[in-house]
Amino acid sequence: MYSPSDDSYLIIDYLKNHITLTHFDSLKIENVNNILDMGTGSGIVAIFLLLVKKANPNFSANIYASDIDQNAIDSAKANEKCNRFNNQITFIQSDLFKSFPADLKHRFDIIFFNPPYLPSIVSDRNLERNNSQDYTWDGGEKGFEVILDFLKQARNFLRKEHKTRIYYVCSSKTNLQKLYERISQLGFKNTILKKTHIFFEDLFLNRSEIVS
């Protein structure tokens, strides 16, 4: 079973203080129809959103959750049942958006992404990997390649009719200045919402919005 980690709680702690009866972090809650939790892991963020739906009659968004790892999907499904929800999350196994059906393009109002965000310790990225090792932390040579790849693909899955939001986590172990420069070059406005210190690093919750 996958266990929730500090980065997941960073997202949830922010949401607890920024979802009201009428607004989802300043977005009108009636305009939030579809939410995606990418890299769902244990499913804790998606399950938290189901709890919000249960408590808030104005919030009726469809909740989707995706992960590259089928074991994570299975764990999240089990956790959904443990929380007494029956098939209320739509699960998709996919490497980012590669296996998403075409009818989900330009459907999501909000996307959460808890990515691998640490720099790779593999000096040669072409080396054959040991399948017994865990690479879910590996964000690429600089630690932010996966985040940038995600943002490039996510544009095609965000709604066009009104303002949309992307929330993601990153680490001080990577070059944050360079990351934020690259995000701006992709046409996103980035805002740091919250941070927490864990052992030898700071984790940051960010919100990105398309500006161009």
pLDDT at residue 201, as a whole number: 87
Q: Report how far residue 152's alpha carbon sits from residue 185's, in angstroms, rounded to the nearest whole number.
A: 11
Q: In this predicted structure, what is the pLDDT of residue 143?
A: 59
Place of tokens 């995606």: 36
Phi/psi at 201 (nearest 5 deg)?
-150, 160
Q: Does the pLDDT at position 4 exceed 60? A: no
pLDDT in tens, 131-166: 434 445 444 555 588 999 999 999 999 999 889 999
Could you tell me the CATH superfamily of domain 6-121+132-210? Answer: Vaccinia Virus protein VP39 (3.40.50.150)
Whole-number Å distance between alpha carbons of 144 and 4: 21
Per-residue pLDDT reduced to its tens digit, 80-123: 999 999 999 999 999 999 999 999 999 999 999 998 754 554 54
Rounded to whole angstroms, the Cα distance separating 183 from 190 reads 7
pLDDT tens-place string over residues 6-46: 889 999 999 999 999 999 999 999 999 999 999 999 999 99
| Sign of the torsion angle spanned by Cα atoms 110, 67, 172, 14 | positive
Q: What integer pLDDT is reported at residue 139 of this predicted model? A: 42
